[in-house]
Amino acid sequence: MIETLGDVLRNNAYKFPDETAYNYHGRIVTFGEHFERGNRLASALWKRGIRRQDRVSILSQNTIEFMESYAACELAGYIAATVNWRLAPPEIAYILGDSTPRVLIFEAQYAATIEQIRDRLGFIEVFLCFGGDVPDWAEDYNAVLETGDAAGAPTRPLPDEIMHLIYTSGTTGRPKGVMRTHRGEIAVAILMATELGLIVSDKLQLMMPVFHVGARFLQLGAHIRGASVVLHHEFKPAEIVETIERERVTMTHMAPTMVQAVLNVPGIEERDLKSLHTICYSAAPMPVPLLKRGLKLLGPVFLQLYGMTEGGGTTLHKRQHKPDGTPEEIKRLGSVGQAAPNVGLRIVDDEGRDLPTGVPGEILINTTSRMAGYWNNSAATIAALKEGWYHTGDVGYLDPQGFLYLVDRKKDMIISGGENIYSREVEEALASHPAIMDVAVIGVKDDYWGETVRAIAVLNPGHSATEAELIEHTKTQIASYKKPKSIVFVEDLPRLPSGKINKVILRQLYGAAEPKAS
């Protein structure tokens, strides 16, 4: 019976010992090998005094060692506390200081980063380094792993114990550590396998960071079915296309901006990508022009998932992507789909009262896959979890068939002249212009209006558009009072690990009355 993620590893090693668990840039790791190395690492850490529910932090891009570190925690009941490698040293120090791991496993390229903050990490007893030169204050990861026993550590996790401590992106302040249990992760794995239609013969390609729930959840969905994962260290569009063709990848996972980059790979029209039957995307709806281009080249492969670190989710299925359908079907391309099985979904006002169809309010989710709470933050936990419902902080509405439309984050709503303006609808209006590749909207303080709308836009290669032209275009799509008063043109937009646009950075750069030069 599968009740923990450790059970998934044991099940696959028993049933499929010689089948591929991971294909990492040509390095093949079988389920049997992965199980053994995970056990050895768990045992080696146990011998160094690490015990069940102690935190093991991991600072690395996508690597086999990262997945082995996950496996050790899954098998022995340690808590995997991941760290976003894109963060600055003080931000990493904050997360490590909050989670207080006893072990830090890191890729050698981050040794200098750790060195800068090591005097603040006195609680870390074991530093394990891999993938390069090992500093004198750390141990060699592989050498330590080899000291472990193949039988593993003498302990196993319980279903309601914490498996993951994954920190939010900090869009509304300091990052919060989201506690996720083994029971919750099994529910997520089943949800992913069900919604994507994963089967044992699939090959799932992952290039988004596995320290974040997006790629991690899909990996769990693949492995609960015994399917293979084709893992990339990072996102390189040409490499992604070559790998799909060479390895006969059947599923992949990208943000819409990554899909755009892949479709722009020279010569993609001549590639044999017929093995690919699903592109799972998240972070934002797919712009209709991009969707049409992708459907023309690849066929009906697109599927959208909506969720967050704390829980999810909804699905816009492949058969629901109809850019040439009825007006209602075309409109639904701007939704994030319908609630998945066993996911409760409500839209409420500020008093917690349910709102009727079509009226925006806060999105509440109730599912067995949601978080257990926030680490060291009971106040935030109480605010977010009420009567079993997770309060997402997202604003949205439902249509008569239960399609969910996101209109904003509660904290991102712009109030101009007493009118509520949802940044999402302004972004969608601008995105409908052929010159726009990527766009985000923020509020700018104004003495008269309170706030005005400012857009930060990235133009498609080979296209041009003026500020005045784009503002006029938005007036044909939405009410005039919602149009941007100013537009800043940039080369690209800052993004969070999930692929979502980082509006905290955008406000810092462009939120003043006179934005900083880009």
Residue ranges per structural domain of the chain: 31-181, 235-409, 416-510
Average pLDDT on 141-149 reads 98
Indicate the range of 101-105, 387-391, 511-515 predicted with least confidence: 511-515
Confidence of residue 398 (pLDDT cuts 50, 70, 90): very high
Indicate the range of 245-249, 409-413, 471-475 predicted with least confidence: 409-413
For residues 366 and 501, which has the higher predicted lDDT (pLDDT)? 366
- Name beta bridge partners: 416: 419
Burial class (CB in 10 A: 0-12, 13-18, 19+), 514: exposed
Chain centroid, CA 123 distance in Å: 29
Q: 288, 283, 206: which is closest to 250 by C-alpha?
A: 206
Q: 348, 366, 365: which is closest to 356 by C-alpha?
A: 348
**Cα 332 to Cα 362: distance, rounded to the nearest angstrom:** 19
Tens-place pLDDT, residues 261-278? 999 999 999 999 999 999
127 neighbors 104 (Cβ within 8 angstroms): yes
Same fold, 31-181 and 235-409: yes
Tens-place pLDDT, residues 257-316? 889 899 999 999 999 999 999 999 986 677 788 889 999 999 999 999 998 899 888 999
Confidence of residue 516 (pLDDT cuts 50, 70, 90): low
DSSP strands (E only) in 318-423 = 338-339, 344-348, 361-366, 373-374, 385-386, 389-398, 404-409, 414-416, 419-421
> End-to-end alpha-carbon separation of the chain, Å?
55
User: How far are the Cα atoms of 7, 23, 204, 460 from residue 14, in angstroms, in the given order?
Assistant: 10, 19, 21, 50
CATH level 3 topology of 416-510: GMP Synthetase; Chain A, domain 3 (3.30.300)
Structure tokens given for 113? 């980063």
CATH level 3 topology of 235-409: Rossmann fold (3.40.50)
**Cα 277 to Cα 27: distance, rounded to the nearest angstrom:** 24
Q: Would the pLDDT of 517 be above 90?
A: no
DSSP string, 69-102: HHHHHHHH--EEEE--TTS-HHHHHHHHHHH--S
Give the per-residue pLDDT at 366.
95
Q: Would the pLDDT of 380 be above 60?
A: yes
Q: What share of the chain is helix, strand, coil (3-state, %, to 5)?
A: 35, 25, 40
- The alpha helices in 123-206, defined as continuous H runs, are 141-145, 182-196
Structure tokens given for 46? 């146990």
Average pLDDT on 235-240 reads 97
Structure tokens given for 26? 């040509």
Q: Would the pLDDT of 151 be above 60?
A: yes
Tell me the residue type at 368: T
Element housing 167 (H / E): strand 162-167
SS3 call for 302: strand
Q: Would the pLDDT of 169 be above 80?
A: no
Whose structure tokens read 């359908």?
325
> What is the DSSP pairing of strand 302-308 with strand 177-181?
unpaired
Assess whether the previous peptide bond of 152 is cis (omega < 30° from 0). no
User: How far are the Cα atoms of 35, 55, 189 from residue 100, in angstroms, in the given order?
Assistant: 27, 7, 28
Which DSSP state fits 501?
Answer: B
Element housing 442 (H / E): strand 436-446
Max CA separation in the chain (angstroms): 70
Cβ neighbours of residue 321 closer than 8 Å, sequence gap 6 or more: 286, 291, 295, 300, 302, 303, 333
CATH of domain 31-181: 3.40.50.980
Indicate the range of 41-50, 317-326, 411-420, 466-475 predicted with least confidence: 411-420
**Cα 119 to Cα 178: distance, rounded to the nearest angstrom:** 26
Give the per-residue pLDDT at 209.
93
Give the per-residue pLDDT at 334.
85
Confidence of residue 137 (pLDDT cuts 50, 70, 90): very high
The phi, psi pair for 37, rounded to 5°, reads -70, -35
Structure tokens given for 215? 């790629």
